[in-house]
Structure 1
Amino acid sequence: MKKAVFLDRDGVINEVLTERVKFVNKPDQLYLLPGVVEAIKELNAVFDYIFVVTNQGGVGLGYMKESQLITIHDYMKTMLRQQGAIIDAVAYCPHKPKSGCACRKPNSKLIEDLAEDYHVDLSSSYMVGDTDTDTDTDIIAGKKAGTKTVFIGMEDPLADASFPNLLQASKWMIQDQNGLSKTR
């Protein structure tokens, strides 16, 4: 079985709710957070796959078409690949918040479907996310899927570890895979 890192997109890979951008509805609104390229490159060297799993309710709410979202994800993957950082696949929920669909995090369907398609051992994989409004949707989704969980931001009691950014989190995940990590 393979090992993977599942990354939330907004707030983990790219800016959201900043002075430059509120939400990413077009490729030119996608700004990578500092250290993301280096972090993904480091993760690529240790893990079999790096995936993005993201709630994108803007499609269901009519702020963008699904084809625009796919263009944004293609742009993100190309931008990262040009710098040597590889995202193997992107899975997203296009439904409105509170629509009751099975794919929207905190449900774990996006993670579980990728794991099945790519033969990933979830118990030796990681879900990395941040806070989505008032709930820890990413961390809960990872827990439901059976991954270890890493929170980007201040301390999160539900997560296995918390770090201020993806670069620091990536170093911990690599050490954890090698049995050298110290929690949090």
Structure 2
Amino acid sequence: MSMNKLIILDRDGVVNKDSANYIRSAEEWIPIPGSIKAIAKLSQAGYAIAIATNQSGLARGYFTENELQAMHEKLIGLVEVAGGKIAVIKYCPHHPEINCSCRKPEPGMILSILKVLDKPASETWMVGDSLKDIQAGKAAGCKTALVKTGNGLKTLSRGEGLQDTLVLEDLSDFCDQLLSAGD
């Protein structure tokens, strides 16, 4: 069992379908096919799974803390039914203009997760669909992976800042590659 290993996932576009209009309720929170099962498989293989998500919709007044909580309870519940576990969920509630240290591409949320779970960054994966996710992961010293779901294809087409970043179809693909590599 790789008990020291941690995988940090961006949420929208990686675990669930994203919307340019923001995901505003648990009803609108729809998992990407295979993502819940992938999280469960990684969890069963001994990986701690965490979520680090920018949620400026809070600051913008698009949804409340309670609505965000309901989305996360749905995520946690689905993962548990599939036989997995989410260790921690961190979110940045701030408006981008605040220039906080937690909003990706800043590494604040990732560093906080590493500290809470007492895991080494060098053994940790940050999986995202946008350049901000990859930049935050790299700034924290993590290994990085980009999935083509969500904004992934758009991020890939820009092609910058993705050196040393694994590129995969989706979270299921990441899970399969990681488990077959035994890393």
TM-score range, shorter chain: 0.7 to 0.9
1:173 paired residue number: 178
1:129–1:139: 8 Å Cα contact kept in structure 2? Answer: yes
1:139–1:159: 8 Å Cα contact kept in structure 2? Answer: no
2:133 paired residue number: 138
Q: Describe the superposition over 1:22-80 as per-residue Cα deviations: whole angstroms up to 9, x where unpaired.
A: 42111111110011122112211334410010000000111112222122111211122
SS in 1 for 2:163: coil
2:88 paired residue number: 89
1:110 counterpart = 2:115: no
**Distance in 1 (alpha carbons) for counterparts of 2:167 and 2:143:** 11
Query: How many angstroms does 1:113 deviate by?
Result: 0.8
1:16 paired residue number: 18
Letter in 2 for 1:142: G
Where do 1:65-104 residues align within 5 Å?
65-104=64-103
Query: How many angstroms does 1:159 deviate by?
Result: 4.9
Where do 1:150-165 residues align within 5 Å?
150-153=145-148, 154=153, 155=156, 157-165=162-170
SS in 1 for 2:27: helix
SS in 2 for 1:60: coil
Question: In percent, how many aligned pairs have the same letter?
Answer: 30
Letter in 2 for 1:164: E
Gap runs ≥5 in structure 2: none
Letter in 2 for 1:163: L
**Distance in 2 (alpha carbons) for counterparts of 1:159 and 1:84:** 32
Query: How many angstroms does 1:158 deviate by?
Result: 3.4
Gap runs ≥5 in structure 1: 180-184
Query: How many angstroms does 1:17 deviate by?
Result: 2.4
1:5–1:127: 8 Å Cα contact kept in structure 2? Answer: yes
1:182 paired residue number: none
1:35 paired residue number: 34
**Distance in 2 (alpha carbons) for counterparts of 1:146 and 1:175:** 24
- 1:159–1:32 distance in 2 versus 1, CA, 3 Å: farther
Q: Describe the superposition over 1:104-154 as per-residue Cα deviations: whole angstroms up to 9, x where unpaired.
A: 0001111111111111111011000002xxxx1000000011110000114
**Distance in 2 (alpha carbons) for counterparts of 1:159 and 1:74:** 34
Aligned residues: 171
- 1:83–1:73 distance in 2 versus 1, CA, 3 Å: same
* CA RMSD between the two structures: 1.8
SS in 2 for 1:150: strand
TM-score by length of 2: 0.86
**Distance in 1 (alpha carbons) for counterparts of 2:144 and 2:83:** 25
1:4 counterpart = 2:6: yes
Letter in 2 for 1:145: A
TM-score by length of 1: 0.86
